[in-house]
Structure 1
């Protein structure tokens, strides 16, 4: 297996496993995606030959997965993520929130954070598995629309991947996956990788069906001025940077007071308050998916731009109702 712990939010990691051991495959998928996940072969398991190739970059995790024989997968609430399964070969039968979806090379299945998932996965099905941190996708829609969105997002159960925009989004994900797996292309440049990652998140917001209006993602809300959009882009691209109010005003091209007033009017809070929320969501997402034996809360907080651990811990508890160490200890 290749890869390792990320050292900063824009760092990528690559993991791979080929095995005929069911328990080893199950443990790999739990570590890469979700703890409450069960993988069980159906019938003859002699053909079981798991292959998993997974890359992660900030709030997204992309894997190419196959099992070699028929299996059944059961997953409890995803809680911290949205997820897309797009078969590259074969067909997958999916049940989620009372709806059955037959996903194949023409249609991808979509999963919300709430609701058990049941998958009948044939041996000939190889698929693209895309995990997007809940906060990242919700922030994207929240920033793009001039209205309050419901959380978890009311997303459609599937989308077409033969026609645009679904075809384009899957192609974008596959290209990013290939580049991160090789590690020697433009994606090896942190700034480029960050922009590419953000394109995957915003592209999903454009692709999947939702009831929040027809405005495109990418900060195109009609009542948000360009100065606010430019500042939001900068904060989401590099949330760990030690931005000051003056730095953000310079990025926006206006004075500090003008930017603060614009944010209060169009975002509902000051720029630095919004930046703190982005950082907190980033820490929460990382702690929620990390191994408590290998991750230190302080290191994660510093990576996301927090330099005063006492204030960080208080803000974290206010937002999530628990301490950072409890999130890490009680992760599922």
Structure 2
């Protein structure tokens, strides 16, 4: 198994009775456009958050101690699951209301505002999975193109398998990564746990694929295309040429390019650049600007020309890489 940049797990914890400090923590760990508003008597407000991050997966065990309201704009880059361990969470997303409790988890798509009524008695697992990672997992499992964002169900049962198994897996991963010197903290082991969380979620949430009738299913991708995609995701920093990728696929360069345009929508090297850009963006958005530099991260992900990299990054994310590193909250 290849270990990519960003596979080393990170554990961050906060205990505070300061609402602003708790809000800033959640924005930095999860989403920028997030509002936390105490409801009624806030004298018992006490935020407790333990968050572990491993590649495209972020898992937090969160509680507030008093009743609050949380409002989040479009997630855009991620899917999200809230699984209460105690108490009941009232959730509204895309016109659907869900009561989440220890028997049922709430699920959120990248598009659509989220409104939460979160009582002080509710302690929950907050699981963020980056959009590309979950979609790529489902895409690979089905061996076909899927429509993004996924039309997943708004909740799932966690009182029995597979939901119960997935939550147990997430809790075990979280507990291991919060513990000092745990085996799961080793990058190679952590990467395996991470992949299990993503693949388990893909098998747990409802979606309009598989045996269900779905006019959304795209054409199956040829084996040559899938083989090339697997190679690029396994080693995104490798300096592939068009000829290298064609050799991996076992076809000529022009044949592979045409297959990619038909089944992926872009050329092989354009797709590889997108993987790298997403990797850099993920790493910069989680890094301490005093400890890393944009150039170091870019080089790790295979970019050798910083000027072209910066232009491509701005075109994809609407900001410079230094802005992501400096201003991400």
Task: Specify if TM > 0.5.
Answer: yes
How far the C-alpha of 1:62 sits from its partner, in A, is 0.6
Cα distance in 2 for partners of 1:189, 1:230 equals: 28
- The alpha-carbon deviation at position 179 of structure 1 amounts to 1.7
Listed one character per residue, the Cα deviations across residues 160-206 of structure 1 (whole Å, up to 9, x for unaligned) are: 11222212221221122122112423323222222221221222122
- The equivalent position to 1:309 in structure 2, one of 306, 310, 317, is 306
- TM-score in terms of structure 2 length: 0.82
Q: What are the ranges of 5 or more consecutive residues in structure 1 without an aligned counterpart? A: 1-6, 216-220
Contact 1:18 1:50 in 2 (8 A): yes
Number of the residue aligned with 1:137 = 134
- Partners of 1:193 and 1:241 in 2: how far apart? 22
Structure 2, unmatched stretches of 5+, are 213-217
Is contact 2:85-2:125 (8 Å) kept? yes
CA distance in 1, matches of 2:284, 2:120: 33
In the TM superposition, 1:215-234 aligns within 5 A as 232-233=229-230
1:102 to partner: Cα distance = 0.2
Partner residue of 1:81?
78
Q: C-alpha displacement at 1:72, in angstroms?
A: 1.0
Between the aligned partners of 1:28 and 1:321, the Cα distance in structure 2 is 24
- 2:68 is matched with 71
Offset of residue 239 of structure 1: 3.0
Give the one of 162, 175, 180 matched to 1:165. 162
Q: 1:40 aligns with which of 31, 37, 41?
A: 37
1:279 aligns with 2:310: no
| 2:215 corresponds to | none
Q: Which residue of 2 aligns with 1:151?
A: 148
Q: 2:243 aligned with 1:212, yes or no?
A: no
* CA deviation map 1:265-303 (0-9, x unaligned): 865666554333221222234445667787643333223
Contact 2:93 2:113 in 1 (8 A): yes
- Cα 1:195–1:268 shift into 2, 3 Å: farther
State whether residues 236 and 278 of structure 1, in contact with CA within 8 Å, keep that contact through their aligned partners in structure 2. yes
Number of positions where the alignment pairs a residue of Structure 1 with one of Structure 2: 319
SS of 1:74's partner is strand
TM-score, normalised relative to structure 1? 0.81
> Given the superposition, is the C-alpha separation of residues 145 and 296 from structure 1 closer, same or farther in structure 2, using an over 3 Å criterion?
same
User: What CA distance in whole angstroms lies between the structure 1 residues aligned with 2:190 and 2:231?
Assistant: 14
